[in-house]
Structure 1
């Protein structure tokens, strides 16, 4: 039996969907399982034992109809028996259709349901602390009465050599893995998913004052100027603890460094999901327009804590949809003052450091 799982999109989505491959491995232990993802997310799922092959969806497939058609023909040649389309957009609709699989499963959409042999309606409320992102994915494999018993966490697999190399790298930069080391996700993927800079600076000041920990910043290269702006907003004593220029040159390198961190604090996004998959305690700050219940995976009030403006001002979110909140996010974010959640952060630090 040959199975294809399709999850294009960003790192957090891809990492979360690895649980589908793990579930399939349990149900079909002798099957060949392939995982189709965007090329840039491949490093996050490397070394994962729950699928056999990574099928890359390359950028040229988006930019060239000819290249995309050749890719569809290649998919056809693999002769899959079973396809699970988690993504559910036009590209994955066509991949599923061209696969020729006898069983095709996806989430229900009225305008694409005819493409699939089975569609699953997403639940809007979670029944565990795993989050609806986890639970709904498991519904693509298991019947409803098995969801709670089949809950599992996404996992990232690093080699011993990768971990040792990261440790040597940190120590070469005078960072001991025997002292608290906190990664700060200082910036979201866009400004509407980023805590105001001055607020993030206050959060970092609080962490250093309370713990004396070494601080690493997580940001992508084109965010360097904004990261330095946040650094400059912290006080002088805090800056002595921040290793702003210590960062990995690859995503696998970042993951190996993150695996040595005592905790990860900051904006919701891929880094938070990667931290959880590595077993690193996380404190997550959600954007006002992101639904916390969708992505607060495995929040337990101790090892994983998340905060959202709706926790403090629920009346602001009554009868508003995600699109409206996204448009208003830059106006809403300033209301999420650090004073609202600083005690929760201090409790988190005391329990995990």
Structure 2
């Protein structure tokens, strides 16, 4: 969700830069707001609250609020039932979204999404850009998301790091766990890679995870050797997403499971090394790996025959077996070279 909100902000930016006098509103889930806070091309944020999902009267009130805004153009980058309803209630003259036989009637223009990337931006960003280009004569002035941190936030992160005696130290942010088991690289494999990083660089490690994931982090640490455990900074725990982003901005690189943290790092121009889940389509999210210091690995890079001809649903059901096939020895040397390049 965070990655989606971040890349969809490109629609807002390009609209505002094409039409400076237009007022651009961005409708998002409230918990995703930190990744687009202070965005210079968004005039107003409209929040979809969690309670709307289970409280029909409050959702209806929200829909009526959208109707009262008198929007002229709506870009539905989500394309699900909730956003379909919100789009319909706006009564905007121009409505744009993805082509689906059961909702085409409510949109002015639609297009068919693609999973095949044509540029290094990746298909997820390309689909958003194509949605933008349904507007005649609009120019694409930027296709790379950006996060806007304040100098206060950056200085606060530096102060936290310095207070731990880590001034001028090499730091690696580790996306230790994915958003769920099916997007989390096996813990013993992850520990192996962390051990390799510790043995081949002098970097300190910052593990990024939710408090609710502490049990799995404890399991990960059991697999790590003593050197790796000594390199992990245990008393640097961001208390908010903005604080995480500020600390991440001070790291040499980020490494780990592909997801929101990796997308945040890319938007901060922090070098990234991502491990994709076998059931995720890599072409959608392996963005900016040619012109920027980002790289990623996927089972398809090494054993494409294990994925060939299988649908996403089947791959997701067998994620454990497929993850086991993505042995760290397959890309260990690639990771070490990447880490040494950006650390030493």
**TM superposition score category, shorter chain reference:** over 0.9
**Which residue of structure 1 aligns with residue 74 of structure 2?**
83
Kept in 2, the 8 Å contact 1:185–1:217? The answer is yes
**Which residue of structure 2 aligns with residue 48 of structure 1?**
39
Select the residue among 181, 194, 213 that pairs with 2:184. 194
TM-score (norm 1): 0.94
The answer to whether the aligner puts 1:330 opposite 2:320 as a matched pair is yes
**Which residue of structure 1 aligns with residue 49 of structure 2?**
58
C-alpha displacement of 1:73: 0.6
C-alpha displacement of 1:124: 2.9
**Which residue of structure 2 aligns with residue 5 of structure 1?**
none
Structure 2 counterparts to residues 246-325 of structure 1, below 5 A: 246-300=236-290, 303-325=293-315
**Which residue of structure 2 aligns with residue 7 of structure 1?**
none
What is the distance in 1 between the residues matched to 2:327 and 2:292?
A: 21
SS of structure 1 residue aligned to 2:280: coil
**Which residue of structure 2 aligns with residue 125 of structure 1?**
116
Residue deviations 1:326-350, cap 9 Å, x none?
Answer: 0111111111111001111122113
Kept in 2, the 8 Å contact 1:139–1:147? The answer is no
C-alpha displacement of 1:72: 0.4
Kept in 1, the 8 Å contact 2:172–2:254? The answer is yes
Kept in 2, the 8 Å contact 1:127–1:148? The answer is no
C-alpha displacement of 1:223: 0.5
Runs (4 or more) in structure 1 with deviation over 4 Å come to 143-151
SS of structure 2 residue aligned to 1:139: helix
C-alpha displacement of 1:151: 4.9
**Which residue of structure 1 aligns with residue 64 of structure 2?**
73
**Which residue of structure 2 aligns with residue 173 of structure 1?**
164
What is the distance in 1 between the residues matched to 2:323 and 2:135?
A: 37
**Which residue of structure 2 aligns with residue 11 of structure 1?**
2
What is the distance in 1 between the residues matched to 2:76 and 2:165?
A: 46
The answer to whether the aligner puts 1:228 opposite 2:214 as a matched pair is no
TM-score (norm 2): 0.96
Change (3 A) 1:147 1:317: farther
* Cα RMSD (Å): 1.7
Change (3 A) 1:295 1:273: same
Instruction: Provide structure 1 residue ranges, at least 5 long, that are not aligned to the other structure.
Output: 1-9
C-alpha displacement of 1:150: 4.5
Deviating more after overlay: 133-142 vs 343-352? 343-352
Select the residue among 5, 19, 25 that pairs with 1:28. 19
Instruction: Provide structure 2 residue ranges, at least 5 long, that are not aligned to the other structure.
Output: none
Change (3 A) 1:216 1:104: same
Deviating more after overlay: 166-175 vs 16-25? 166-175
**Which residue of structure 1 aligns with residue 198 of structure 2?**
208
Change (3 A) 1:335 1:146: farther
What is the distance in 2 between the residues matched to 1:55 and 1:248?
A: 26
